[in-house]
Structure 1
């Protein structure tokens, strides 16, 4: 079913105080959103999510049905941030396979940003290029369609039923 998202972070070598990527992946289409954030604190993640939801306006309620995240402290205010548009689920501790789509997407991000490399040298424009590459890459899982194509098709179907 379309509209179920996994949310996670990709961090640099210095952990919480270093810039990070907030990643959102839609499970059906594998459509990815990458947002560069200044650090991995709960407050910054909350601000990024609320800003995304506010920018989408009324469409956010149709776009997001659920969010699944890990139990990291950066997601301690996730329920508060998305309560108006979606339900939140938390994976069991040390159970990364419960968010397998995110973990697989992170492997793609790591093709451009190797593990241990600081994200401080990247801009949101750089991150947008990685995101576009990920979303425009044909996938065997999607019958060799791109995540973008599958996402747009699902979004159009969602708008027809609304």
Structure 2
């Protein structure tokens, strides 16, 4: 039987995050489910607030968050406390430690090219891109969608 990335019941949910200009993106490692929101700046206060708002619906199943070492994550203790999750940092200049996140950035670039000014992009456009991204079958998920796998994973953890 071929091994897959589909999570087993009871597996902890682990998110990785990165701030892109004024679009914060968080991607769950096992299910590849992505959430994102626009923030006013890359300030630690704005990124912290957005991260907590984005992950609060998943509070009971978020166990770890891995970020880069940017100043925007300097309030990581507030995130950790609000979500009861451990926050880890990738090593500086080691983007390969967060390969899924880099891959997800590439997928988001299909909707929002490199120099997109997110001040001119509406939240509806961001939500539409996320819906498409989370509804896209992935080879690493046995051609299931991140949305389907996240739903199954969340239900299994809640049971």
Same fold judged by TM-score > 0.5? yes
| Partners of 1:37 and 1:22 in 2: CA distance | 7
Distance 1:124 1:76, change over 3 A: same
| Partners of 2:49 and 2:40 in 1: CA distance | 11
C-alpha contact 1:2 1:29 (8 A) present in aligned 2 = no
- Say if 2:31 is the partner of 1:33: no
Distance 1:53 1:104, change over 3 A: closer
How big is the alpha-carbon RMSD for the aligned residues of Structure 1 and Structure 2? 1.3
C-alpha contact 1:2 1:28 (8 A) present in aligned 2 = no
Moved over 6 A (4+): none
Deviation at 1:53, TM superposition (A): 4.8
Equivalence for 1:24: 26
Equivalence for 2:4: none
- Say if 2:22 is the partner of 1:7: no
2:87 counterpart SS class: strand
2:27 counterpart SS class: strand
- Say if 2:149 is the partner of 1:150: yes
Structure 1 segments unaligned to the other structure (5+ residues): 12-19
Q: TM-score, normalised to structure 2's length? A: 0.88
The structure with the largest helix share of the pair is 1
Deviation at 1:51, TM superposition (A): 3.0
Equivalence for 2:113: 114
C-alpha contact 1:50 1:82 (8 A) present in aligned 2 = no
Equivalence for 1:69: 67
Size of the aligned set, in residue pairs, is: 148
Distance 1:5 1:94, change over 3 A: same
Q: TM-score, normalised to structure 1's length? A: 0.86
Distance 1:79 1:152, change over 3 A: same
Equivalence for 1:46: 48
Structure 2 segments unaligned to the other structure (5+ residues): 1-10
